[in-house]
Structure 1
């Protein structure tokens, strides 16, 4: 299965899912009118409609899967968040006010109450003696239970319930890493299912795994049982949505793919993610919150009755009649008619495509590193995607350290996905991939670094949110750029490797964010550096805008040889236009 990250765009009108671009010579009919040459499914869109009622129905069907993806990806944040203020609990002092018992039982450290230690005295004797002031000479011991100030996080989470603070304050980060370990295994399992049994079984299976793990999470009572359940939920990331994303893009005409690819993320996914903190606040209890965002994934079980299987996958398996049956639904919904001679011609083409698919199996990812230029491009794509994935995920998880209400900050930062996607739709095919990826990553890095120099609060949060906005753009370019640079014969496998490298990289991001316990500035410093480095690496890739995608390994090796470092697509277009005008072609 061609694995893709969250927002693989198709702005060029080229289809990154195509695995064969051969031309089928069909000759001419007796009347002298040339028959249309059908290369693949894309050539049927003039007959079934680019974005008719059936495609609009599928576009709307992406809503639940977008919500499931947001719930799986971001849900854990609000299960494990810890209030900013906490201190040791002393059961014997419960009859005192919060201020009185904290003043009496907690030692001061730099004029602040210590969060991890308590005076070790006989509190019954202290109370009977009427002592109201602590004695600095009292012995001190580590806490074994805590009280929390729930003013900033107004509900109990598993972290506050089980005391994941002080010596155990890395537990939440570790649980998040376990989630991403599950994602690596899930990518392999559901990728295999998608190739062997079809896209729809993989989509259903991924969501049911998320459902099972999520419901199990609500009944956990220890750190390790929580990790096990989050590992199972991780299996669903991000196949619970991306498989649907790929299927829908396959059925949308090339000129509509940029819109569909970006707007489903900009609207559905963004809305779901922005809702999450308010769901947590509304439910006000972590177990019920977990159930509320996990149970809906069970609805994916009815997917086979609502969403068609991938016609491209059916054709690749030689199940051409089933693919044609699905295409007949497009005829009916869109009130179109495929001429009989086109149906016959496409069936012949599909047979050739199925044969070509079998030939592709002789290639592997090893072929990506056999030749020098293609090897360099592949390694660059791996490192760039790892940087993008880490910066994006790091900004998502770092909202709690920005000095503002984390629920509001999370929603505001997440909403930047909408303008980022809209802007990308407008400029991607003007500026090009290379310079836009470079610019957005470097801007993200610069603003992340600037946020470390600003006062904690609105100033630092605003700069960090700009950094998040910029990396949203990079994230949405990433997989499309890779798809357009890798040769057809190894594109699916290459994208899967890049995809999984992102999973591996994001295992580190919870610990990067955890370093805020040492100093608030450290996570943003690391994210800023990664953004600048990743952006600069983009400049060593060739531009792919408006170029034919490479088909063979040799095509991939030669790709972009004629380009210069300072080439800008928008300037090149202008020069081409002027040259043609001077030649009298306009």
Structure 2
């Protein structure tokens, strides 16, 4: 008997499954928060050179009346506004006493670098570890790269461990590991230690979302699987948005990181609150434990299970899926061998790799770069995260009604066009923010399509390996995304040009992909070739 048949009696998504599913979703809020806290933890606050002639280091404030005569303007057009440069000041006329603060003291035609700074109210690792000036900003981008490298490695490691030791145990371990490393990160004594703990925190964070997704999908019947995936993304978007709001409130990276990580220790109680995946237990032939969970679910759902269902746990008649899946060789070399049997599949898989990489690169790049657009950076960041909710909803509705290919192509092209429209600043904040939000909505929509579309294009023999390879290459895009704001320091419009260009390229390449809505999943190379 198939486990989905048991769910038809038990309820595909009864009260018990809803209760467990909501419990599973709660850590996703913290997982999402930990995945993006580094945007503010390693953010660049406003700072300027200390002017010893005019102020004391212990009482100095970022804004002061004497700045325009002591520090050059960082704005190219001085008629617009004055923003002091971060790392230079005018040289001093040595004929005046050291405590003299008048315009004649400063030689406005000579500029020197400084080694002491005055920061605005915001505190990040820049303040604590002295990561100041353009020549050191690579360290901040490296922090983002280390984060996504941790995500990349953690995703692979915990996926394997969850298959071997169970979804529940590894899920709880990832949450606690994420919590402990996040808390330790907030007390890092120096930059190298911080970088190691940032990587470790991301490594743990990497396992939380995928395992919550698996637990949720394996908990419900066939007709409810899509909704579990969509709602999980809603919780993730809320968790991301809360990072911006808490960063706004705290203006300090330490309490921000503690808020994102510390409370997760409470999820240790999940060892007693949530069950192991019944499908995994059945796959491991642990039928008595699976039976206990099903009986508890039936009691909570107020359902009486038939004798046939109960007897199936005592026999070999039950399988976690419709039929035991064929053992498929997942070696990359075997997968490559199968793909190279068809020129069409080779071209298709190259396009899939590009599409996934661009998706991750632009998706995370826009989130990271949202703090650099006009307006309140905290509010912008939160809005850019919350726009993912209608983005995922739109993709869910659109790909079911209009097809996978049109949804993917239009999403990429719309993202590219809105990013291109933002290349030349309009000077109107709401216009720039709106275009940015449409771009993020569009790339989120495309992200909602690629998983399903990729699986439907590849034959059974390489489907699992193909999706896994595409997902891994996507992490390369996300690892590169934190370095994009750095190039914006040299050419301000370059990040948006880059996002626009690769999005439009991916949209045009997606025109070469087949439509798969309503198509039978291809079993062989020939069937995939004929799509």
Q: Same fold (TM over 0.5)?
A: yes
Partners of 1:341 and 1:510 in 2: CA distance = 56
Alpha-carbon shift at residue 521 of structure 1 (Å): 1.5
When the two structures are superposed, what TM-score results if normalisation uses the length of structure 2? 0.89
After TM superposition, what 4+ stretches of structure 1 lie above 6 angstroms from structure 2?
Answer: 352-355
Give a deviation string over 1:285-341, Cα, whole Å, max 9, x none.
Answer: 221221111112223322222222222222322323333332223222222233233
**Please, which moves more after superposition, 450-459 or 429-438?**
450-459
Matched, 1:468 2:440: yes
Alpha-carbon shift at residue 70 of structure 1 (Å): 1.5
Give a deviation string over 1:105-125, Cα, whole Å, max 9, x none.
Answer: 324565464322234548794
Matched, 1:531 2:500: no
Could you tell me which of 210, 215, 230 is aligned with 2:183?
215
- Change in CA separation of 1:245 and 1:363 when aligned onto 2, cut-off 3 Å: closer
State the match for 1:42 in structure 2: 4
**Please, which moves more after superposition, 338-347 or 385-394?**
338-347
Could you tell me which of 37, 51, 57 is aligned with 2:19?
57
Alpha-carbon shift at residue 473 of structure 1 (Å): 0.7
Could you tell me which of 318, 325, 335 is aligned with 1:368?
335
SS at match of 1:93: coil
State the match for 2:70 in structure 1: 105
Partners of 1:351 and 1:258 in 2: CA distance = 22
- Change in CA separation of 1:61 and 1:123 when aligned onto 2, cut-off 3 Å: farther
State the match for 2:408 in structure 1: 437
Could you tell me which of 417, 431, 436 is aligned with 1:446?
417
Could you tell me which of 216, 223, 247 is aligned with 1:255?
223
Partners of 1:352 and 1:468 in 2: CA distance = 38
Could you tell me which of 356, 360, 363 is aligned with 1:389?
360
**Please, which moves more after superposition, 521-530 or 313-322?**
313-322
Could you tell me which of 269, 273, 279 is aligned with 1:306?
273
Alignment of structure 1 residues 490-569 onto 2, 5 Å: 490-551=462-523, 554=524, 556-559=525-528, 561=530, 563=531
Give a deviation string over 1:46-88, Cα, whole Å, max 9, x none.
Answer: 11111110121123113322212211111111212223x4321
Could you tell me which of 13, 17, 32 is aligned with 1:70?
32
- The answer on whether the counterparts of 2:419 and 2:499 sit within 8 Å (CA) in structure 1 is yes
- Change in CA separation of 1:490 and 1:59 when aligned onto 2, cut-off 3 Å: same
Could you tell me which of 117, 122, 125 is aligned with 1:158?
125
**Please, which moves more after superposition, 338-347 or 521-530?**
338-347
| Alignment root-mean-square deviation, CA | 2.7
The structure whose RCO (Cα within 8 Å, separation 6+) is larger is 1
State the match for 1:88 in structure 2: 49
- Change in CA separation of 1:382 and 1:329 when aligned onto 2, cut-off 3 Å: farther
Could you tell me which of 286, 290, 303 is aligned with 1:323?
290
- The answer on whether the counterparts of 1:104 and 1:134 sit within 8 Å (CA) in structure 2 is no
Give a deviation string over 1:104-158, Cα, whole Å, max 9, x none.
Answer: 432456546432223454879444566433443775432222223x3xxx42122
State the match for 2:151 in structure 1: 183
- The answer on whether the counterparts of 2:167 and 2:276 sit within 8 Å (CA) in structure 1 is yes
- The answer on whether the counterparts of 2:93 and 2:106 sit within 8 Å (CA) in structure 1 is no
- The answer on whether the counterparts of 1:193 and 1:202 sit within 8 Å (CA) in structure 2 is yes
- Which stretches in structure 1 are left out of the alignment for 5+ residues? 1-37, 564-586
Partners of 1:374 and 1:190 in 2: CA distance = 30
- The answer on whether the counterparts of 1:368 and 1:374 sit within 8 Å (CA) in structure 2 is no
- The answer on whether the counterparts of 2:40 and 2:124 sit within 8 Å (CA) in structure 1 is yes
State the match for 2:261 in structure 1: 294
SS at match of 2:205: coil
Number of residue pairs aligned between Structure 1 and Structure 2: 514
When the two structures are superposed, what TM-score results if normalisation uses the length of structure 1? 0.81
- Change in CA separation of 1:428 and 1:94 when aligned onto 2, cut-off 3 Å: same
SS at match of 1:272: helix
Give a deviation string over 1:525-561, Cα, whole Å, max 9, x none.
Answer: 111112112222323222222233234xx2x442261
Partners of 1:203 and 1:463 in 2: CA distance = 37
- The answer on whether the counterparts of 1:118 and 1:142 sit within 8 Å (CA) in structure 2 is yes
SS at match of 1:263: helix
- Change in CA separation of 1:536 and 1:181 when aligned onto 2, cut-off 3 Å: same
State the match for 1:380 in structure 2: 351
Matched, 1:142 2:113: yes
SS at match of 1:545: coil
**Please, which moves more after superposition, 473-482 or 139-148?**
139-148
Alpha-carbon shift at residue 386 of structure 1 (Å): 0.9
**Please, which moves more after superposition, 178-187 or 292-301?**
292-301
Partners of 2:30 and 2:434 in 1: CA distance = 28
**Please, which moves more after superposition, 86-95 or 303-312?**
86-95
Give a deviation string over 1:269-288, Cα, whole Å, max 9, x none.
Answer: 22222222221232332212
Alpha-carbon shift at residue 189 of structure 1 (Å): 1.8
